[in-house]
């Protein structure tokens, strides 16, 4: 038996706190046990859905159903769980479900720990197999060959603009856009030493240097800057060379055992990249959708205006317009347009067929749920 006579009030208070924490932890354990049981019950139902889908040759991923689940849960949620964490938790649960139905392989523009990898993981969760590729073309090829179910490629950055190579590949490919994902881009300065003092060389991708120019001028004005193919390559180099650092993601710090010397060093905080998930699936309507199109007009005055006119006449909102040279003929262009709505909507179908009759070529690149843009 403990002698409590000499206990100070502080010790008394510590005992009370310990007892109260232990009591609360019992409650937490009980809830965790229930959660575990419920997750396994959910997975049993998911397995049965998977068997029915397999019998009819239906695809495992049902983005429409997943969007409905998120919408329903967000409507029910009264907190303190916030929207971002709710989405993250259920992304992981549904990723585990899909993996149970058929192991999924997702390919992305690598290497690992780049922002494309981060976007892919935040979309598909941690239960799928991720396969990095050297180029955007290789991502398209692997999905076309069927060695991977989905590919993740960048398409647009809020500061630098369109990723032209991705747009060009849609001309040659029959793959569809199955989803979109906005990823906030935030750069950290990583070094093995963990301090600024001994850094003489900084490695990074040219775009990351451009986005952190003011910070570098202020804190590392004398450092030599070395350009690399990706921020992940930069982190790998910095891990091997003394007195060097990399501008890369915090995930890269983890992967290459570097320390974060300074975080969020980008000059503009609202730097976001939009990624596309490409695959062979047609995604059903959710009611909150986007449709991506590409078309070529004839080379005559007013051709673009005439092709877009049906959108305005049908009161369809256009959310993006890009042009790219066709490469077959000088000064002729492909146009890429994103509109609100789904190809299964009567109004969209009818409008697209009118547009098709007004231009030389029109292709629907896919209809998919509209993603929300978050700041992390």
Ligand X SMILES: O=C(O)C(=O)C[C@]1(C(=O)O)C=C[C@@H](O)C=C1
Residue choice 91, 97, 230, 286 for contact with ligand X (CB under 6 A): 97
Among 67, 70, 91, 98, binds ligand X (CB under 6 A): 98
| Only segment of 65-73, 80-88, 147-155, 292-300 that touches ligand X (CB under 6 A) | 65-73
Is 348 a binding residue for ligand X by CB under 6 A? The answer is no
Q: Which of residues 27-56 bind ligand X (CB under 6 A)?
A: 46, 49
Using CB positions, name the residue nearest to ligand X.
97
According to the annotation, is 214 in a ligand binding site?
A: no
66 is an interface residue for ligand X by CB under 6 A:
yes
Check residue 61 for interaction with ligand X (CB under 6 A).
Answer: yes
Could you write out the three-class secondary structure of the chain? CCCCCCCCHHHHHHHHHHHHHHHHHHHHHHHHHHHHHHHHHHHHHHHHHHHHHHHCCCCCCCHHHHHHHHHHHHHHCCCCCCHHHHHHHHHHHHHHHHHHHCCCEEEEECCCCCHHHHHHHHHHCCCCEEEEECCHHHHHHHHHHCCCCEEEEEEEECCCEECHHHHHHHHHCCCEEEEEEEEECCCEEEECCCCCCCCCEEEECHHHHHHCHHHHHHHCCCCEEEECCCHHHHHHHHHHCCCEEEEECHHHHHHCCCEEEECCCCCCCCCEEEEEEEECCCCCCCCCEEEEEEEECCCCCCHHHHHHHHHHHCCCCEEEEEEEECCCCCCCEEEEEEEECCCCCHHHHHHHHHHHHHCCEEEEEEEEECCCCCCC
Query: Is 67 assigned a ligand-binding role in the annotation?
Result: no
User: Among 95-103, 173-181, 209-217, 339-347, which window interacts with ligand X (CB under 6 A)?
Assistant: 95-103
Shortest Å distance, C-beta 82 to ligand X: 21
Closer to ligand X by Cβ: residue 65 or 229 = 65
The residue among 69 and 162 lying less far from ligand X, judged by its C-beta, is 69
Does residue 277 touch ligand X according to CB under 6 A? no
Question: Which residues sit in the known binding site for substrate?
Answer: 25, 42, 53, 62, 66, 97, 101
Residues forming the site for ligand X (CB under 6 A) = 46, 49, 61-62, 65-66, 69, 94, 97-98, 101
């Amino acid at each position: 038996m403990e002698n409590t006579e000499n206990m100070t009030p502080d010790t008394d208070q510590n005992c009370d706190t310990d007892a109260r924490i232990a009591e609360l932890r019992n409650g937490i354990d009980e809830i965790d046990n229930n959660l575990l049981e419920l997750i396994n019950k959910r997975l049993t139902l998911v397995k049965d859905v998977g068997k029915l889908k397999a019998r009819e040759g239906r695809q495992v991923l049902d983005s429409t159903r997943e969007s409905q689940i998120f919408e329903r849960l967000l409507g029910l949620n009264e907190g303190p769980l916030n929207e971002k964490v709710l989405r993250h938790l259920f992304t992981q649960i549904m990723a585990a479900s899909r993996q149970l139905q058929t192991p999924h392989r997702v390919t992305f523009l690598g290497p690992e720990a780049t922002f494309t990898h981060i976007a892919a993981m935040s979309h598909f969760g941690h239960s799928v197999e991720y396969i990095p590729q050297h180029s955007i073309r290789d991502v398209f090829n692997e999905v076309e060959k069927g060695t991977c179910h989905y590919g993740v490629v960048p398409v647009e950055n809020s500061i630098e603009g369109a990723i032209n190579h991705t747009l060009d590949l849609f001309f040659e490919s029959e793959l569809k856009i199955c989803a979109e994902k906005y990823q906030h881009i935030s750069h950290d300065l990583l070094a093995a030493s963990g301090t600024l003092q001994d850094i003489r060389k900084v490695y990074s991708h040219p775009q990351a240097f451009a986005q952190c120019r003011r910070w570098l001028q202020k804190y590392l004005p004398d450092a030599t800057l070395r350009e690399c193919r990706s921020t992940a390559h930069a982190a790998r180099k910095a891990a091997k060379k003394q007195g060097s650092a990399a501008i890369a993601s915090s995930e890269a710090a983890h992967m290459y055992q570097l320390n974060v010397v300074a975080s969020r060093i980008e000059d503009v905080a609202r730097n976001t990249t939009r990624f596309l998930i490409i695959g062979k699936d047609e995604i059903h309507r959710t009611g909150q959708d986007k449709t991506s199109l590409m078309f070529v007009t004839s080379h005559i005055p007013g051709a673009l205006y005439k092709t877009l006119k049906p959108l305005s006449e049908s009161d369809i909102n256009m959310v993006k317009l890009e042009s790219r040279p066709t490469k077959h003929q000088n000064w002729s262009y492909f146009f890429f347009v994103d509109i609100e709505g789904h190809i299964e909507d009567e109004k969209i179908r009818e409008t697209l067929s009118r547009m098709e009759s007004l231009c030389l070529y029109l292709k629907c690149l896919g209809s998919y749920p509209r993603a929300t843009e978050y700041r992390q």
